[in-house]
């Protein structure tokens, strides 16, 4: 029986391959995800361990509380004299001190060098202690006073060589520096697109405003001293606000942020692999159902020869198992290509991920194989059960109908029930309070899954009514698209064919009445088949619609929020739109005489009520440029902040029962305790608030923070937005290449860039699922052509031309695609409206333009899917086809 | 069951297709006994119920009422598993349209009943069987590479390979030209002679029926006559007198 199953598969190679494409693509995304994240993680590991390769212990400054890893704030530096004390310890072999900070390199064009959103790392290097130096000198020499070494990638891409002069900007204005040499970071060519700038210690301390201070001391133990002894000895000389960790702990601490990010990225991408597989499982189940219907006689014959039901089940499942294994292996290796593609995709949106070569782990192989095989076998179960119901008499009786299954009666009701349970699960996830994020996501995922399965099972009932509408829509949208493509594709193709002397019908545009009508009828013939073919596309489109609608729902309120908060003419931001800027930037703009008002928002972190929160600080000009939606207090509150006033957002106030006049304690990064009095409570705008939970005065903020930074500055200028004013502002910022002045409209666009790039990534990932469903349609059509060979022969015999056969099949294809698209889009909108109803940050906004685009894409999917099956059908010889059995 | 010479008994077999106004009474209480080691032909015009009767005798279909036993086992009430076992042990089929599996070679097609039952072929028996049906040099071919007559030879070998108690053939020559038909009928006759293979053959061809040891005449769902071994001429005469055209 095993041989029989395998030979059956081989005999149906083409059909099997078509069936398997969904699984191959799904598995490839899963394996690609693992390869990608493993590669990134191994690259990061090598970066972090490289940092501490000869180090036994590291001393760092300690903030009063754990800072979050977004890098907006650094632990405060400590006094440099600690280095000598450490060196004097008998347990210490060698110790080196270092400082670091953001150092922006300036290109020859005077613009800041940034690769996407990657950081600009600046640090001191000490060539006299090579054991602590993780850089490799590739060219030139180590930096002396006032010199810099830069990484080879930046040098190559921006045309710098050793000996050139490059602009460097840290806390102050740009300084020209000689490039003494080029370096690389161990074996890693690029650390996520970050630029590297290394200075000698004195230069670095001056650049980063850390004269007489250090950020880090790296220590190696004397021979014979073990780690615990070393740590204990160092511990004794540590001043307050510093800490010592073993090298491994320090590396792990450094890596904590990235490993969290990686596990998020992994889960995120795996979800899309799962979606593609889910869609693929529909394609498999559908193709198998069709194939099994076509093999009724074969199964019946086997039954007459003594095959038990179990054996029939076994054959079908075994075929699925083999298909699953082969596709999973193919997908596994395609995953390597996908990983490379994902690296490129992230690179393209300015999010370069470090890559040291692809890492292919055993876990990837195991998971990909298991998932691929399990999904295929699960998808085959229902069709396999159907196959067991084939009665032996079907071997001799034409068109013997399968006896309906035991649950046939309950099919529609069951489908509705599944969909309702799905919706219920989604609602529970969204509206039950106090669920953990994980539970919530699982409930949402499960609910959406059930909803899809339910709708897919029910949609057979929708096919006939929907076909009535999609028939003319398909007809005319094909006409429009054909008319558009006619001069560019159809006519040239026809000319080429004629040129090579091949007969070809002159391409027409208008719909072909009889052929298209036949196609329309065909799509209604087997509603279940049409519905399950359309279901695959439905899922893809529902998700794309969901993403588009949520995207629109996030961007719109954000823009509204900016409109509400500020009516200024211009904003000052970093080149990358989000990095904080030193206050000197705003100060330079404020010096322009025509600037009437300018206010800056400082941002940082602090601790209150035992939690680390974001704090912002505003200055005296704020009331003129920033508007708050006050619950208690008023614009006047902004000027009453003084040394110990604070305004808080309403959510935070509710959480901690704060009212006007309440006092609470806030601990700043430097450990200072502030007793703050609530002067105002505001409602943050729905689209995201630029303000932290607590906002204090800039004066208080600056006196309790090392190196305060602005996240935004807003300003008004005489004459408002004009090209001349823009030029004036940018001229004033010339010495800060990392800063730019943008109009408030540009500011809104720039701030939503991130979301837009994210949306694009989501579209690319979902496109894979749509691709799988396209293959699903191809599959169904090819199988249908097989099945209707005799009928097609008959139609050709009574005068249908090849072109008409093609158009007939195309009509069926486009109608199927449209049915899937319409159900999918509606479903996507429903899901989006549920999410929008729950999340304050999102307003339900229908992105009409995009939805129309999706519908057009679906029609194109239908047209493309029909090309090959239609050619096969048109190639059939009428005579042979009539004899086909 | 030695002693009694018949292996298949049918009593009062009635088969009604459909319900109500559209009901068709295909068989009205048929009683049949199939003798062991004989070739029994079932003759009758198209629509007389030959196929229906054969399907019921072979356990492919259930009668509306009546009883059928094969080798003493009442089959009309058997469950699916028991029927499957019965087919493996007692029943072989030869179909009008051959019903070979296109992806298997002739050899694998022939061996299929044994493969399904998880049994091994007796190599000697297999070799002589293949020799007898004249397929020795065609065993590696797929059905698509064989002529209609050759395909039916494969089907005959397949029906015989498990040495079933009874072989049922529904119009085995219905899809073949007359020369090939003759060869196939000779083959079936010789299997009865050589192996004593009990065979039931449905046909409306007098030439085929003339090969049989016994001929049953069916008209409108009833057995109207039964003869022993007869010539083609005699059979045609009976058909004429019974007005079975
Ligand atoms: N599946 C069926 N459903 C309804 N009527 C049937 C079916 N099979 C056969 N019949 C009817 O039963 C009668 C006997 O058919 P059949 O046994 O096929 O005759 P024969 O094989 O002698 O030509 C015919 O009238 C035929 O139309
Ligand atoms: Mg018949």
**What letters, b where the CB count within 10 A reaches 16 and e where it falls short, cover A407-425?**
eeeebeeebeebbebbbeb
Q: For residue A596, which of A711, A738, A747, A725 has the smallest C-alpha distance?
A: A725
For residue B85, the chain A residue with the least C-alpha distance is A306
Q: How far apart are CA A557 and CA A845, in angstroms?
A: 10
Poorest-pLDDT segment among A177-186, A346-355, B8-17: A346-355
pLDDT in the model for residue A397: 80
**Assigned domain for A438 exists:** no
Q: Please state which CATH number belongs to domain B35-62+72-241.
A: 3.40.50.300
Query: In this predicted model, what pLDDT tens digit does every residue of A432-473 receive, in sequence order?
Result: 877 787 888 889 889 999 999 999 888 888 888 888 888 888
What's the gap in Å between the CA of A31 and the closest CA on chain B? Answer: 34
| Residue B50 Cα: closest atom of ligand 1 | 22
Write the residue in B80, B101, B117 that is nearest to A298 by C-beta: B101
CB A177 within 8 A of CB A166: yes
A174 and A229 belong to one structural domain: yes
Q: How far apart are CA A231 and CA A91, in angstroms?
A: 9
pTM of the full predicted structure?
Answer: 0.78
Which chain B residues are Cβ-neighbours of A12 within 8 angstroms? 103
Q: What are phi and psi of A518, to 5 degrees?
A: -60, -45
pLDDT in the model for residue A708: 85
Which chain A residues are Cβ-neighbours of B170 within 8 angstroms? 396
**Region at A770 (left for phi over 0; alpha for psi -120 to 50; beta for the rest):** alpha
A247 and A339 belong to one structural domain: no
| Residue B18 Cα: closest atom of ligand 1 | 4
**Assigned domain for A871 exists:** yes
Of chain A residues 285-344, which have a CB less than 8 A from chain B?
297-298, 301-309, 311
What's the gap in Å between the CA of B1 and the closest CA on chain A? Answer: 23
**Ligand 1 touching residue B18 (CB < 6 A):** yes
Last residue of a domain, one of A255, A281, A313: A255
Residue B1 has pLDDT above 80, yes or no: no
Query: In this predicted model, what pLDDT tens digit does every residue of A476-506 receive, in sequence order?
Result: 888 888 888 888 887 888 888 888 877 777 7
3 state SS of A819: helix
- Quote the tokens at residue B164: 């079933």
- Would you call B84 exposed, middle or buried from its count of C-beta atoms within 10 A (0-12, 13-18, 19+)? buried
A680 and A794 belong to one structural domain: no
Q: How far is CA B56 from CA A438, A604, A743, B15, B74, in A?
A: 61, 87, 88, 9, 12
**Assigned domain for A306 exists:** yes
Q: What value does the mean pLDDT of chain A take?
A: 85
Q: How far is CA A143 from the centre of its chain?
A: 40
Query: In this predicted model, what pLDDT tens digit does every residue of B156-184 receive, in sequence order?
Result: 999 999 999 999 999 998 888 888 899 89
- Quote the tokens at residue A386: 């159907």
Q: How far apart are CA A197 and CA A178, in angstroms?
A: 12
A671 and A789 belong to one structural domain: no
What's the gap in Å between the CA of B22 and the closest CA on chain A? Answer: 18
Q: How far apart are CA B225 and CA A162, in angstroms?
A: 113
Beta strand B166-170 with B91-94 is: parallel
A216 and A265 belong to one structural domain: no
A66 and A46 belong to one structural domain: no
Q: How far apart are CA A417 and CA A430, in angstroms?
A: 20
A552 and A498 belong to one structural domain: yes
Pocket test of ligand 1: the residue of B26, B63, B204, B224 to mutate, having most ligand atoms within 8 Å of its CB, is B26
User: Given an 8 Å threshold on Cβ–Cβ distance, is A301 in contact with B99?
Assistant: yes
A128 and A229 belong to one structural domain: yes
Separation of CA B29 and ligand 1 centre (Å): 15
The residue ranking higher by pLDDT, A713 or A411, is: A713
CB B158 within 8 A of CB B169: no
For the ranges A116-125, A223-232, B82-91, the maximum mean pLDDT occurs at B82-91
Which chain B residues are Cβ-neighbours of A391 within 8 angstroms? 60
| Residue B170 Cα: closest atom of ligand 1 | 21
The residue ranking higher by pLDDT, A51 or A674, is: A674
pLDDT in the model for residue A190: 55
A708 and A796 belong to one structural domain: no
Instruction: Name the helix (H) or strand (E) containing A678.
Output: strand A673-682
Write the CB contacts of A783 (distance below 8 Å, at least 6 apart in sequence). Answer: A15, A287, A290, A291, A294
Write the CB contacts of A452 (distance below 8 Å, at least 6 apart in sequence). Answer: A278, A422, A535, A538, A539, A542, A827
Separation of CA B39 and ligand 2 centre (Å): 18
CB A860 within 8 A of CB A541: no
Average pLDDT over residues B128-156: 91
**Ligand 1 touching residue B23 (CB < 6 A):** no
Query: In this predicted model, what pLDDT tens digit does every residue of A720-742 receive, in sequence order?
Result: 889 999 999 988 888 887 788 89
3 state SS of A95: strand
Q: How far apart are CA A42 and CA A757, in angstroms?
A: 26
**Ligand 1 touching residue B44 (CB < 6 A):** yes
Q: How far apart are CA A301 and CA B98, in angstroms?
A: 10
Residue A404 CB coordination number (10 Å): 10
The residue ranking higher by pLDDT, A257 or A648, is: A648
**Assigned domain for A627 exists:** yes
Query: In this predicted model, what pLDDT tens digit does every residue of A512-531 receive, in sequence order?
Result: 677 788 888 888 888 888 89
Edge to edge, the sheet with strand A92-98 lists A92-98, A216-221, A57-61, A242-246
Which chain B residues are Cβ-neighbours of A308 within 8 angstroms? 80-81, 84
Q: Whose CA is nearest to atom 27 of ligand 1?
A: B47
Write the residue in B60, B88, B170 that is nearest to A392 by C-beta: B60
Residue A71 has pLDDT above 50, yes or no: no
Rg of chain A (C-alpha set) = 33
User: Given an 8 Å threshold on Cβ–Cβ distance, is B99 in contact with A297?
Assistant: yes
Q: What is the DSSP string of A574-640?
A: ETTSSS-B-HHHHHHHHTSTTEEEEEEEEEEEEEETTEEEEEEEE-TTHHHHB---EEES-GGGGGG
Last residue of a domain, one of A224, A255, A286: A255
CA atoms within 13 A on the CB side of A398: 3
Domain boundaries, given as residue ranges, for chain B:
35-62+72-241
What's the gap in Å between the CA of A883 and the closest CA on chain B? Answer: 14
Residue A540 has pLDDT above 70, yes or no: yes
Separation of CA B16 and ligand 1 centre (Å): 10
pLDDT in the model for residue A402: 66
Separation of CA B50 and ligand 2 centre (Å): 6
- Would you call A883 exposed, middle or buried from its count of C-beta atoms within 10 A (0-12, 13-18, 19+)? exposed
If one counts the domains in chain A, the total is 4
User: Given an 8 Å threshold on Cβ–Cβ distance, is B99 in contact with A395?
Assistant: yes
pLDDT in the model for residue A288: 85
pLDDT in the model for residue B109: 93
User: In terms of residue numbers, what domain contains A769?
Assistant: 462-566+745-885
Please give the interface size between A and B, counted as residue pairs whose CB atoms are below 8 Å apart.
Answer: 72
Proportion of chain A above pLDDT 90, given as a percent: 20
- Closest ligand (CA of B49): 1
Q: How far apart are CA A760 and CA A749, in angstroms?
A: 15
pLDDT in the model for residue A350: 63
3 state SS of A682: strand
pLDDT in the model for residue B213: 93
Query: What is the band of A153 on the pLDDT scale with cuts at 50, 70, 90?
Result: confident
Residue A546 has pLDDT above 80, yes or no: yes
Q: What are phi and psi of A750, to 5 degrees?
A: -60, -40
- Quote the tokens at residue A848: 């009409």
pLDDT in the model for residue B3: 41
A19 and A162 belong to one structural domain: no
A243 and A261 belong to one structural domain: no
A266 and A366 belong to one structural domain: yes
Last residue of a domain, one of A199, A230, A255: A255
């Amino acid at each position: 029986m095993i041989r029989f199953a395998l030979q059956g598969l081989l005999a149906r190679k083409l059909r099997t391959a078509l069936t398997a494409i969904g699984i191959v693509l799904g598995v490839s995304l899963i394996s690609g995800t693992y390869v990608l994240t493993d590669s990134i993680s191994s690259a990061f590991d090598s970066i972090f361990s490289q940092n501490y390769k000869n180090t036994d212990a590291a001393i760092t400054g300690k903030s009063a509380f754990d800072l979050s890893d977004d890098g907006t704030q650094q632990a405060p530096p400590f006094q440099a004299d600690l280095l000598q004390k450490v060196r004097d310890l008998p347990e210490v072999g060698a110790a080196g001190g270092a400082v670091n900070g953001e150092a922006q390199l300036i290109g020859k064009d005077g613009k800041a060098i940034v690769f996407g959103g990657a950081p600009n790392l600046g640090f001191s290097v000490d060539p006299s202690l090579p054991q602590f130096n993780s850089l490799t000198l590739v060219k030139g020499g180590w930096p002396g006073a006032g010199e810099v070494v830069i990484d080879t990638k930046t040098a190559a891409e921006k045309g710098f060589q050793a000996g050139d002069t490059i602009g460097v900007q840290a806390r102050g204005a740009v300084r020209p520096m000689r490039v003494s040499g080029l370096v690389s970071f161990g074996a890693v060519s690029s650390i996520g697109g970050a630029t590297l700038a290394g200075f000698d210690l004195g230069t670095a301390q001056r650049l980063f405003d850390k004269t007489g201070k250090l950020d880090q001391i790296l220590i190696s133990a004397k021979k014979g001293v073990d780690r615990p002894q070393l740590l204990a000895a160092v511990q004794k000389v540590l001043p307050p606000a510093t800490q010592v960790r073993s090298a491994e702990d320090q590396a792990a601490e450094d890596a904590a942020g990235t490993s969290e990010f990686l596990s998020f990225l992994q889960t995120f991408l795996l979800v899309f692999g799962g979606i593609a597989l889910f869609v693929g499982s529909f394609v498999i189940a559908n193709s198998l159902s069709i194939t099994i219907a076509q093999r009724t006689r074969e199964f019946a014959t086997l039954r007459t020869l003594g095959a038990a039901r179990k054996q029939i089940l076994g054959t079908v499942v075994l075929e699925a198992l083999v298909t699953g294994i082969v596709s999973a292996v193919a997908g596994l290796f395609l995953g390597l290509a996908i990983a490379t593609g994902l690296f490129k995709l992230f690179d393209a949106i300015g999010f370069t991920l470090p890559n040291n070569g692809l890492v292919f782990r055993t876990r990837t192989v195991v998971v990909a194989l298991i998932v691929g095989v399990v999904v295929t076998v699960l998808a085959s179960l229902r069709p396999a059960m159907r196959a067991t119901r084939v009665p032996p008499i079907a071997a001799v009786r034409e068109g013997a109908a399968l006896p309906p299954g035991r649950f046939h009666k309950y099919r529609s009701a069951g489908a509705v029930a599944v969909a309702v349970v799905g919706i219920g699960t989604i609602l529970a996830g969204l509206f039950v309070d106090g669920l953990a994020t994980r539970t919530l996501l699982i409930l949402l995922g499960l609910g959406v899954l059930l909803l899809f399965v339910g709708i897919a099972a029910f949609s057979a009932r929708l096919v006939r009514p929907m076909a009535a509408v999609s028939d003319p829509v398909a007809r005319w949208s094909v006409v429009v698209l054909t008319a558009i493509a006619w001069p560019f594709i159809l006519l040239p193709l026809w000319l080429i064919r004629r040129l090579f002397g091949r007969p070809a019908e002159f391409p027409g545009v208008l719909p072909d009445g009889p052929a298209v009508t036949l196609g329309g009828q065909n799509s209604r013939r087997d509603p279940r088949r049409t519905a399950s073919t359309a279901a695959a596309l439905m899922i893809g489109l529902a998700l794309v619609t969901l993403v588009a609608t949520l995207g629109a729902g996030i961007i719109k309120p954000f823009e509204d929020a900016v409109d509400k908060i500020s009516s200024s003419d211009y904003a000052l931001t970093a080149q990358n739109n989000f990095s904080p800027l030193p206050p000197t930037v705003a100060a330079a703009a404020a010096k322009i005489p025509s600037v009437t008002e300018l206010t800056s928002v400082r941002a940082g972190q602090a601790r209150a009520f035992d939690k680390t929160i974001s704090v912002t600080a505003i200055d005296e000009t704020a009331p003129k440029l920033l508007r708050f939606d006050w619950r208690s207090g008023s614009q006047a509150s902004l000027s009453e902040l003084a040394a110990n006033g604070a305004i808080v957002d309403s959510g935070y106030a509710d959480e901690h029962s704060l009212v006007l006049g309440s006092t609470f304690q806030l601990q700043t990064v430097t450990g200072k305790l502030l007793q703050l009095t609530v002067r105002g409570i505001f409602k943050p705008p729905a689209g995201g608030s630029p303000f932290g939970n607590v906002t204090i005065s800039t004066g208080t903020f600056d006196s309790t923070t090392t190196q305060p930074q602005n996240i935004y500055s807003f300003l008004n200028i005489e004459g408002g937005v004009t090209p001349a004013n823009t030029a004036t502002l940018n001229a004033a910022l010339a010495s800060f290449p990392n800063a730019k002045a943008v109009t408030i409209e540009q500011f809104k666009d720039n701030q939503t860039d991130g979301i837009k790039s994210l949306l694009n990534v989501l579209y690319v990932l979902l496109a894979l699922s749509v691709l799988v469903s396209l293959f699903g349609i191809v599959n169904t059509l090819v199988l249908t052509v097989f099945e209707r060979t005799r009928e097609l022969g008959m139609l050709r015999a009574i005068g249908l031309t090849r072109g008409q056969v093609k158009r007939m099949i195309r009509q069926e294809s486009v109608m199927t695609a449209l049915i899937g698209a319409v159900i999918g889009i509606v479903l996507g909108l429903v899901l989006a409206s549920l999410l929008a109803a729950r999340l304050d940050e999102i307003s339900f906004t229908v992105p009409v333009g995009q939805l129309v685009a999706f519908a057009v894409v679906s029609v194109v999917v239908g047209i493309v899917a029909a090309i090959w099956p239609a050619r096969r059908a048109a190639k059939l010889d009428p005579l042979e086809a009539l004899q086909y059995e | 069951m030695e002693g009694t010479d018949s292996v298949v008994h049918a009593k009062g077999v009635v088969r009604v297709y459909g319900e109500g106004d559209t009901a068709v009474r295909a068989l009205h209480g048929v009683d049949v006994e199939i003798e062991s080691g004989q070739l029994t032909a079932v003759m009758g015009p198209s629509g007389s119920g030959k196929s229906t009767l054969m399907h019921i005798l072979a356990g492919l279909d259930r009668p509306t009422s009546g009883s059928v036993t094969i080798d003493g086992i009442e089959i009309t009430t058997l469950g699916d598993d028991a029927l499957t076992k019965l087919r493996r042990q007692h029943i072989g089929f030869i179909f009008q349209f051959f019903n070979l599996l296109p992806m298997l070679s002739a050899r694998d097609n022939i061996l299929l009943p044994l493969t399904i039952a998880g049994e091994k072929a007796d190599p000697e028996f297999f070799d002589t069987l293949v020799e007898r049906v004249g397929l020795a040099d065609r065993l590696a071919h797929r059905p698509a590479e064989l002529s209609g007559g050759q395909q039916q030879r494969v089907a005959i070998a397949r029906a015989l390979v498990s040495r079933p108690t009874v072989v049922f053939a529904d119009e085995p020559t219905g899809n073949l030209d007359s020369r090939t038909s003759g060869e196939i009928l000779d083959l079936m006759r010789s299997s009865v002679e050589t192996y004593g293979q009990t065979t039931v053959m449905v046909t409306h061809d007098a030439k085929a029926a003339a090969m049989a040891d016994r001929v049953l005449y069916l008209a409108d769902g009833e057995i109207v006559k039964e003869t022993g071994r007869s010539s083609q001429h005699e059979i045609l005469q009976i058909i004429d007198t019974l007005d079975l055209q």
